[in-house]
A = this chain, B = another copy of it.
């Protein structure tokens, strides 16, 4: 950390800062410049909380040099983490496809879509039993019944299941039924839930909050890992911006940014980024070409009658095209 002194800070003020740093257990070194002096903190093993210093007389600002996360950091673990779920390896060479309806609506709906996806070569099935919805009047998911339907999907098709837990109550149930537990964007800073997710026996798919920085996403993952569960898959799903041609703006650079800072795998959700069916495929292809470790895509056999997110769900024919595109891109990537 660098403590920047105000123009005209006195020697006494600078010495007081250095003394305070000493009390914190570090060493402070004064760096006089042409216009002002800065004090460098040396010897810290962990990030320093600069608020004490910031409040001292003569201090203009503090500048943090080191990132505040540790366990998720590529500096801590240089090699990329591969997360194995059944026979699927997430973060390895081949991008992984997760697909399915936004919400589980009925056994028939879930199975119809699952059989189709299986026939396309998909290995991981997505579908929500607990749905966080902006309006209390919208469909909130089938709950435990939805999980039981997902169990049937797994038994009949052999597909692995990723499904969302929205609170500590349903997390326990979701852990039982899911192969991958999803923590949604709206819960990315629900730290109680993150801590609990750090104690489940399944990998966690952690979605980026729509207004979270990459640093905050990585800190959220750090919450999970500090509790003992290091199998975290990150997911970029679009951020909130002024741009109004899509529901969210896919932050494509999150892929290389996460890969630079962290060893964890990162997948992309083009469906929630786009919010409209016709842009899902271009975004999906862009994500794969930019280096994403996989995609999570909404597909529905009858989007017109989907109980949620119908407008962004791909038709089966479109999904077949996407699978074909991704498979060709994979060969390009080899």
- Contacts from A to B (Cβ < 8 Å): 2, 4, 7, 29, 31-36, 38, 40-47, 49, 51-52, 54-56, 63, 65-66, 68-70, 75, 132-138, 166-169, 186-187, 189-193, 209-211, 213-216, 219, 222-223, 226, 239-246, 249-257, 260, 273-274, 277-279, 282-283, 285-291, 303-306, 308-311, 328-329, 331-332
Contact = CB atoms under 8 A, between A and B. Distances in A.
A42 B31 contact: yes
Contacts of A134: 68, 189, 216, 219
A68 B253 contact: no
A253 B242 contact: no
Given A240-B242, A254-B245, A286-B287, A133 B47 contact: no
Contacts of A306: 51-52, 55
Contacts of A243: 213-214, 239, 251, 253-254
A132 B56 CA distance: 26
Given A222-B135, A253-B273, A304-B52, A4 B65 contact: yes
A253 B281 CA distance: 10
Given A242-B211, A274-B253, A33 B42 contact: yes
Contacts of A132: 189, 191
Contacts of A242: 211, 213, 239-242
A171 to B, nearest CB: 10
What number of copies of this chain does the assembly contain? 4
6 contacts: A2-B65, A35-B66, A46-B137, A167-B168, A256-B279, A282-B289
A83 to B, nearest CB: 21
Given A242-B240, A304-B52, A252 B252 contact: yes
Contacts of A328: 332
Contacts of A289: 282, 285-286, 288-290, 329
Contact of A49 (B138, B273, B303): B138
A211 B240 CA distance: 7
Contact of A244 (B213, B250, B332): B213
Contacts of A40: 31, 33, 38, 40
A158 to B, nearest CB: 30
Contacts of A278: 256, 260
Nearest to A332: B332
A45 B239 CA distance: 33
Contacts of A29: 31
7 tightest A-B CB contacts, nearest first? A211-B211, A289-B289, A167-B192, A286-B290, A51-B310, A286-B286, A245-B257
A287 B250 CA distance: 12
A274 to B, nearest CB: 6
